[in-house]
Amino acid sequence: MIKPMTYEEFLIKLKADEIETENGNCPAEQILKLFQGKWKDEVLYCLCIYDSIRFGELKKLLNGITNTMLTSTLRELEKDGFITRKQFNEIPPHVEYSFTQKGRDLMPIFYEMTVWGMKWADDNLKKH
């Protein structure tokens, strides 16, 4: 695990080329890869809003996603340790998804991305 540092320390180490993983990659690569895929960010955003959510509720919120794609996305996020799946053996049976601690630790990142997005929204919309 990389030791947390201040933004100023980060800039100094970045400029000195002292920040990389064991494989020589940028440490931010893991989080950037997380957001690859059409639906992962949307699923994670829904979990930011709802502490726990059922599959059917999630599908209703994600306009255009298929059951197969939602299942695949949820499995990937669960495999990566960001969400947990809890099955309720009741009548009718249902499944709920929620953040793990690793997933909850994404909240400050979502906040910073939201702040950046709101600051630059007009500029980005003009270019697309």
* Domain-embedded: residue 98: yes
* Domain-embedded: residue 73: yes
Which of helix, strand or coil describes residue 37? coil
Q: Is 88:95 a contact under the CB 8 Å cutoff?
A: yes
Is the pTM higher than 0.85? no
pLDDT tens digit sequence for 67-117: 999 999 999 999 999 999 999 998 988 899 999 999 999 889 888 888 888
| Percent with pLDDT over 90 in the chain | 44
Query: pLDDT at residue 66 above 90?
Result: yes
* Domain-embedded: residue 31: no
Instruction: Give CA–CA dist 90/80, Å, rounded.
Output: 28
Average pLDDT over residues 31-36: 80
In Å, what is the CA distance from 56 to each residue of 37, 50, 63, 79? 20, 14, 12, 20
CATH number at residue 112: 1.10.10.10
Domain count, the chain: 1
Domain assignment of residue 64, given as a range: 40-123
